[in-house]
Each structure stands twice: as structure tokens, then as C-alpha cells.
Amino acid sequence: ESGPKKAPKPGKTNCACAKHEPACKHVHTYRILPDEEDFLAVQTSQGVPVRRFKTLSDLIALYLQPNQGLVCTLLFSVEREKEKDNAEDRDYSDGEDEKPPLPPRSGSSGVSFGSSIPGAACNSPAVSTNGLSTISHEYLKGSYSLDLEAVKAGATSLPNLNKTLVTSCKRLHSEVDKVLSGLEILSKVFDQQSSPMLTRILQQVSTAGQAGEQELDSLVRKLSVLKDFLSSIEKKALKALQEMSSTAQPGLAQPSSRKAKSIPVQAFEVKLDLTLGDLAKIGKSQKYTLSVDVEGGKLVVLKKQKDSQEDWNTFTHDKIRQLIKSQRVQNKLGIVFEKEKDKTQRKDFIFVSARKREAFCQLLQLMKNRHSNQDEPDMISVFIGTWNMGSVPPPKGISSWLASKGLGKTLDEMTVSIPHDIYVFGTQENSMGDKEWVDAMRSVLKEFTDLDYRPIAMQSLWNIKIAVLVKPEHENRISHVSTSSVKTGIANTLGNKGAVGVSFMFNGTSFGFVNCHLTSGNEKTARRNQNYLDILRLLSLGDKQLSSFDISLRFTHLFWFGDLNYRLDMDIQEILNYINRKEFEPLLKVDQLNLEKEKHKIFLRFNEEEITFPPTYRYERGSRDTYVWHKQKPTGVRTNVPSWCDRILWKSYPETHINSNSYGCTDDIVSSDHSPVFAAFEVGVTSQFVSKKGLSKSSDQAYIEFESVEAIVKTASRTKFFIEFYSTCLEEFKKSFENDSQSSDNINFLKVQWSSRQLPTLKPILSDIEYLQDQHILLTVKSMDGYESYGECVIALKSMIGSTAQQFLTYLSHRGEETGNIRGSMKVRVPAERMGTRERLYGEQEPKPDAATTSDPEGPAMKNSFNNPAYYVLEGVPHQLLAAAEQHALVANNVPLSQWL
């Protein structure tokens, strides 16, 4: 169970079971309690429907079936033990009839048995209705805490666990099944990767009517498994408790010490950031002292007055709602305080430096971590929906869109009802008003998830709309919300075509979302390409300090979706024949979006999940069985072949975590000639970093050092160039000196080189490896004569950390076009005392090919560069890159191969 067990009334039953998915992405705690009508109600987290049963037999009958949310099917029921008279054996709650609270739904939260045993519920098998079987219950209920204290004191044996195992083995022959089930639970408590062999054996035994000899053979097999478990379970338990003992006291010089070292109150001298109007009234900026009491869980805001008088306010940890780091001013911080219920006040303070601001944020986060039960998530789920509504109101039932139900890659039936953390709805030809549309989607989400989602942004351009809604618990994790729109209609002045966008920070991770409606018509491919480039250049989102970079490089994760209107270049009858046979591969080969993307004309290095659903346009309204490809226009009859007009693409920084869990379309929403399209993503996010080693000292400084950089830029100019370096881990952007050598064998391209003398050494504001592994550096190559950018890129620091220099190689782009490439040698030096890391919910990513030599997610094999022969200038690039297609590309650009080898 997820917390202290409540004492049920007679006739009531409490039980817990876990829902299992790979890597334990979601853990559910279930409880069974009678409701008002005396039905047995199986309840779990908010947003998951409650199941009701008339009798316990009905409940058991359902959970005997597979795929009902248990790790394995329920094998047999266990009668409830009679309540003991001894009051010490009972666990009462404050309110006898009060139901136990549901566990938090955050992906980073675990479920524990009473105390904080790591992974206690994760991957556990189903258990019977009296809770844990006797062996696990006895130990976990009372004795394991004694063993934990013994381990903290330095013991290397577990006498209480040993006693429990010996006692259980005496009853082995009479209760072999119970013992095996209990041992499996206990093993999984301490080792989440424990083999499910026992479950499979019990299933085989219970489903086969066996003769005596077979039954004996099964018993021998069980005893063999039991022998292995007995020999390994104490080692697993000892290791787990030792890890608990050490992680329970982070940052101690002596791990064996029982008492955590207290953190003294830290004071920060700041100034209140005032508007010009306020400054004119007051006359000068006001000085404050911010004192952080981590142990006491409070922040004291002290205002210095005249005549040495002081005015102060004290805020407890739960009254500090949000910290908002300014992107424009690196030493500025906004603090949102809760003044009264549902009323907040924001004050902006200027710190002495960005490092001081970061130190303050670390202490505030550490204080909240110590005094709050809410963990910050490592991973969230994001739903993206796009739908051309055809200028008619939506039908009443659109829940299939939100549930990713229909055709294509859909969600598993067991996860479809789990609410996403963020919902983003992009619509085109939406005739509803903005507020009406947001209210409608909130209502649908409320009905579907039983949660009141909060709208954080709404942007519209005529009938093109984007709305973003988040779970209530995430509202104070969202900051720096920005919206924008771009018209691409006739003469770029009409808003019937164009794009709307939203960007924000989720804790420490930046997100961008673009919903667009591009030019229609089979023959308008070039016009659609230009629409895309205009939106990329003109949409004003994200950090304004990154104005040198287009929006494809401004965000950790960028999602681009909408009615892109790219069509299929194939005869209509051939298209219909392939659709009828559900053969989509030949159609995808003639999809205009795929063809233009392969030529690197649009969506450079964007990703799209595999399409396994039929074209979403153009259906007969009221049906999904018939495509209508003739459309009457004032200028005549237009042919609109069935096409995948409605798409969802994304682009993420290298070495970040993102998985696509669904991509498809509905088959039951028929009001428009387009089908709604959905996609769901699992996205890794970062939070305010808190060092286990305490605040950084000058001697702990990490360094980012470049040994050399070499770039190929697409230009006929022979001017000198310099590089600018941008990152949130730097106090301010840095510049290199001009390149110290350059050469050219082709009038259209220039090779420029910087030695270590020309390149700056960068000092990140924090030096912990765990912090630096999440950081990225943006580079822009600019000319000395006009300060114009000739190409930009992003490099992940994660692969660059080490005592020896690492190689990087990636492409340069500018305004959506490939303009060259860049490679170099660099290293990130981290002090030895700052090398500690923690385990993340989503773990490590599998290394991609040549991951050690490139920070680009697609590796150095930058194929299909039809418009950029500059890739092949660099010595040392593998010769296999010069495939026949690329050689043809060079010839097409009138570039002799001999000049570039």
C-alpha cells in the first residue's frame, strides 16, 4: 500500500496491487472498499474509472482473467484472517471510516510499503485479498526496520530476515504455494528485476490437471526455485538496505554517521527589480536580504529601511509557489508567493551574479524537497492533437481523439485511460470562439479524466487555433509562456493560412508548439515549402536572447503539426487501390512532405513516427468509408487526391529523452472531411538542480575547453568569421576571436579554422556532472564584416565530459537551410568531487552509432545532402559517405569530386 494502512470496518477489505509496464513507467496502487450502495469498489488513481462488484466472487472471477492491470492473473483467493484482540497488532487511523489517500500520479513517484523501500510495488505480482502473504507481511510489517537500523550501524547480516526465512521453511511442505508467492513478493521488493519464473510455474501448475508423478515433478521444480531464492534473497535485501542507508543521508562526509549535517541559514543581498514608474515614485531601488533556512523550511524576506529600521516577511516552504529565472537578465529571479488562498504575489529580485541566483535556487529547492512530499518529475507525457474541423462544430463525442483510439499506432488498452500531463490541441477551420473552444476541451478532459485541467495558453489566427492545457499539479511548473502567429495567406497578409505557436518552460526544459495551415492544392508544393520557411523565420517564440537562432534550435523539444496540405503524387485510382489493400508504403514514397524532407528543403532533421493509418483527407462528411476527390471551386472542379495532409513532427536536442507512444487517426469522428490525428510522447524533463555536494566553491570549477574548431560555410565571401556560444549554463554568451586560418577550393564554399588560442574557455555556473549532462551549447558562426550568421548548431555536453578531448561533428543550418557543417575537439572537465550522479526514471539512452564522435542525433552520416557538397570537404570524414547519390549531387552542383576529397 502507498502509506500507513487504515483500519477498515468489519466487512471491508483493503488490498494493494501493482500495474506493470516495461521499466516501471507507471505504478498503480489499488484499494477495495465498499461504496455507498455496498458494492465492492476497486479504486486507483484519479482519472482511472472505478470498477464495482456485487460480491467478492465476482471480483475474483474478473481478476482471474489476464490483462486486468495485474502483473499476473489472480491465482487463488485467501480467506481473511480473523482480527486479533491484541490492540498492538492493529493499525488504527485517526478516522476509522476514512479511506486511505490515493498515491501521487507523478511518473517519478514510487509506491512503498509503509516505509520508503525503493520500488516496493513496482513489478510486484498480484496478491490475494488479505494483503501481502504471511511471510512478506510479517517481515515488512515490523522486523525489516530493525534490520535497517542494524545495517546503518554497520552490521553485515540480517538476523530478523534470517529468522523469518527459517520459520517459513518449517511450514514448507504444508504451505509451499504461499511460501513461494511470499518469497517472490519479498524478492521483488528488494530487486525490481527479479525473474517472474515463480509466477509462470504457479500458472502452469494451476492450469494443468496433473497426475501424481507430474505433481511431484512440479514440486521438485518449485523446491529448486526456492533453493535459489533462499540463497540470494538475503544478499539482495542487504544490498538494498545498504543503499537506503547511504542515500537517506546525502552529502555527508562520513556515510556511517546517523545524523544529517545541518545546513546553516544562508543570506543573499539583492535589490528589488522595479518598473520605471515605480522607480520614479520611490526614487531609488530597494535593498533586500533573502535568508534561506533549509532546516526550518522558511524564507525570510528582509527589507532595509531608513534609520536602520527593518521590515520583514516570513514565508514557509509551502507558500513559495514558483521560481522564475529571467532569460534576458541572468542574475534576475522572480519569486511567486502565496499571500492568501488562490491569491499570489510576484516579486523580482536582482542578485549580485548569476551564480548567486543559482545558489539561492538550489537552496530553495533543497528546502522544498526536505519539507514537501511532492517529487519533481523526471518524465512527463505530452498529447498532441491536430484536426481540420471543416468549419463545423465538433460532435459531442470526441473522446477517441484524446484517448488515441482508432487507426495506426494506438495506446495499449491498459494505459489509454491514464491522463497525460500536457494536452496540446491544434485546429484549423475552427469556427468556435477561443473561450468557447477552450471551455469545450476542458469539459471533455474533465469527463474523460476527472481532472480540472488548467489552460496556460491560447493563440488564434482567424480559424487556426492552438490551446495548451496542463494538469493542475503542473501549473506552477510552467513559466515563460509566449505566443505568436504568422500569416502566410495571399501576399502574406491574409490569416486564412499561416501558423500559431506557444512556448514555455516546464521547470528546466523548454517546449515549443507550432500549429499551421499551409497552402492547399496538389501543385503548390513550392508554395508550401515557402510557407514553412516564413513561419520558421518569423514566428517569435522562446528566449529572445536566442534571436540568432531560428525556432528549430531554441527549444529542448519542438513539436510542429497541423494541416500541412502536402499531397500524394500518384494517379487517383492507384491511390485508392493501395488504400483498399492497406498498402501504405508505396504511397509514402510519393508523399510530397517525405520527398521534400529528403531533399532537406523543409523540416531539417525533424522526426515523424511511422505512418500506419490511411490518408486522413479527403473523406465524405458523415462517413469514413468513402473518399471524395472532386471539389467544386469558383474557378472550376479541383481534384484533391486522398493524402496525409494532417501531420505531427518533432525535433529535440541531441541526447535528450523522447519516445513516441502513439501516432494515428480516429475512425469515428466524421463531421469534417479530415480525420483528427493524435500522437502521444514520453518526454524527459529537468528540474531545479540541487547538488549533493553542497554549494560550489571556486576550487570546484568545471571548464569547457575547445582544442580546435573547423567549419565549412556556404558563402562566396572571403571575410573572417567568429563563433558565439550560448547556453543556460553560462552567465552570459561568449565570443571567440576571428579564425586564424581559412581556405577555399570552390567559389561557393569556405573552410574556416580556429585553434585553441582563438577559442574561449567556458565556465559553467555549476560544476556537478549531473547538472552538466543535461546542458547544451548553441553555436553560431558569424562574419566579422556584418555580424551576420552563416550557420547555427547545437552540441550536447553529455558526450563531451571527460579528461580527454572528444570529437564532435554536426551540420550547420540557417533559416531552415543547410549551410555547411562544423566539427571540432573539446572536453568538459569536471572536478572529481562533483562526479556523483543519480538514477533517472527513464534511465540511460542506448548509444547511437558513432555517438562518441558526434553530437548530432543522426550521427555523422549526413545523407541526402543534395544542396550541400560542403559535407565532404572535411578530411577524415568516412569515404563511405560518398555514396552514389551524393556523388550525383556534387556533379549536379558543378563541383568536381577531386576538389573535395
CATH of the domain at 355: 2.30.29.30
Q: Residue 543 is part of a domain; what is its CATH number?
A: 3.60.10.10
In the predicted model, what is the mean pLDDT of residues 238-254? 54
Q: What sign results for the dihedral spanned by CA atoms 414, 63, 133, 72?
A: negative
Q: Is 60 exceeded by the pLDDT of residue 660?
A: yes
Q: Is 90 exceeded by the pLDDT of residue 555?
A: yes
The candidate with the shortest Cα–Cα distance to 132, out of 144, 147, 148, is 144
- Indicate if 478 and 619 belong to the same structural domain: yes
- Indicate if 323 and 424 belong to the same structural domain: no
Q: Is 50 exceeded by the pLDDT of residue 582?
A: yes
Q: What sign results for the dihedral spanned by CA atoms 175, 181, 185, 191?
A: positive
How high does pLDDT run on average in the chain? 78
Q: What is the pLDDT of residues 424-480, one digit of tens each?
A: 999 999 999 999 999 999 999 999 999 999 999 999 999 999 999 999 999 999 999
Q: Is 70 exceeded by the pLDDT of residue 506?
A: yes
Q: What is the pLDDT of residues 715-755, one digit of tens each?
A: 999 999 999 999 999 999 999 999 999 999 889 999 999 99
Task: Label residue 151 by pLDDT band (50, 70, 90).
Answer: confident
Among the candidates 834, 853, 869, a domain finishes at 834
The pLDDT value recorded for residue 221 is: 66
Among the candidates 779, 812, 834, a domain finishes at 834
Q: Is 70 exceeded by the pLDDT of residue 683?
A: yes
More confident residue, 301 or 125: 301
Q: Is 90 exceeded by the pLDDT of residue 363?
A: no
Residue 207 C-alpha cell reads as 492450469
How far CA 857 is from CA of 130, 846, 849, in Å, comes to: 50, 12, 9
User: How far apart are the C-alpha atoms of 708 and 822, rounded to whole Å?
Assistant: 11
Task: Label residue 69 by pLDDT band (50, 70, 90).
Answer: low
- Indicate if 534 and 451 belong to the same structural domain: yes
The pLDDT value recorded for residue 189 is: 61
Of the segments 215-219, 357-361, 399-403, which one has the largest average pLDDT value? 399-403
Position 220 in a domain:
no
Which residues, including other chains, have CB under 8 Å from residue 163's CB and lie 6 or more apart? 143
More confident residue, 377 or 372: 377
- Indicate if 678 and 708 belong to the same structural domain: no
Among the candidates 834, 869, 891, a domain finishes at 834
Query: Are the C-beta atoms of 71 and 197 separated by less than 8 Å?
Result: no
Query: Are the C-beta atoms of 554 and 482 separated by less than 8 Å?
Result: no
User: How far apart are the C-alpha atoms of 140 and 114, rounded to whole Å?
Assistant: 8
The pLDDT value recorded for residue 23 is: 42
Q: What is the pLDDT of residues 775-831, one digit of tens each?
A: 999 999 999 998 999 999 999 999 999 889 999 999 999 999 999 999 999 999 999
Within 10 angstroms of residue 696's Cβ, the number of other Cβ atoms is: 22
Task: Label residue 122 by pLDDT band (50, 70, 90).
Answer: very low
In the predicted model, what is the mean pLDDT of residues 7-26? 42
More confident residue, 89 or 78: 78
Task: Label residue 242 by pLDDT band (50, 70, 90).
Answer: low
SS3 835: coil
Q: Is 60 exceeded by the pLDDT of residue 141?
A: yes
Position 107 in a domain:
no
Query: Are the C-beta atoms of 538 and 546 separated by less than 8 Å?
Result: no
- Indicate if 367 and 506 belong to the same structural domain: no
- Indicate if 587 and 467 belong to the same structural domain: yes
User: How far apart are the C-alpha atoms of 568 and 585, rounded to whole Å?
Assistant: 12
- Indicate if 669 and 595 belong to the same structural domain: yes
Position 839 in a domain:
no
- Indicate if 631 and 729 belong to the same structural domain: no
| CB-count exposure of residue 154 (10 Å: 0-12, 13-18, 19+) | exposed
The pLDDT value recorded for residue 128 is: 38
Q: Is 60 exceeded by the pLDDT of residue 85?
A: no
Percentage of the chain lying above the pLDDT 90 cut: 48
Q: What is the pLDDT of residues 408-428, one digit of tens each?
A: 999 988 788 889 999 999 999
Position 172 in a domain:
no
Q: Which domain holds residue 21?
A: 17-71
Within 10 angstroms of residue 722's Cβ, the number of other Cβ atoms is: 19
Position 573 in a domain:
yes
More confident residue, 532 or 228: 532
- Indicate if 580 and 454 belong to the same structural domain: yes
- Indicate if 448 and 520 belong to the same structural domain: yes
Q: What sign results for the dihedral spanned by CA atoms 170, 173, 177, 180?
A: positive
Q: Is 80 exceeded by the pLDDT of residue 694?
A: no
Position 860 in a domain:
no
- Indicate if 450 and 596 belong to the same structural domain: yes
Query: Are the C-beta atoms of 704 and 826 separated by less than 8 Å?
Result: yes
Q: What is the pLDDT of residues 295-347, one digit of tens each?
A: 889 999 998 776 555 677 899 988 898 899 898 888 999 999 988 777 889 99
Position 644 in a domain:
yes
- Indicate if 674 and 712 belong to the same structural domain: no
Residues linked to residue 754 through DSSP beta bridges, in sequence order:
709
How far CA 394 is from CA of 222, 401, 444, 670, 822, in Å, comes to: 58, 12, 12, 9, 49
Task: Label residue 180 by pLDDT band (50, 70, 90).
Answer: low
Helix axis angle, 212-247 to 144-152, nearest 10°: 40
Position 867 in a domain:
no
Residue 69 C-alpha cell reads as 492491470
Q: Is 60 exceeded by the pLDDT of residue 348?
A: yes
Residue 867 C-alpha cell reads as 544542396
The tally of domains found in the chain comes to: 4
Question: Which strand ranges, in their side-by-side order, compose the sheet holding 703-714?
Answer: 734-735, 721-726, 776-783, 789-796, 806-814, 817-829, 703-714, 749-755, 741-746
Beta pairing, strands 557-563 & 509-517? parallel
Residues in the chain: 901
Within 10 angstroms of residue 710's Cβ, the number of other Cβ atoms is: 21
The candidate with the shortest Cα–Cα distance to 649, out of 686, 597, 696, 601, is 597
User: How far apart are the C-alpha atoms of 432 and 398, rounded to whole Å?
Assistant: 15
Q: Residue 820 is part of a domain; what is its CATH number?
A: 2.60.40
Residue 344: φ, ψ to 5° = -125, 165
Question: Which strand ranges, in their side-by-side order, compose the sheet holding 677-684?
Answer: 407-409, 658-665, 677-684, 379-388, 422-428, 464-470, 454-461
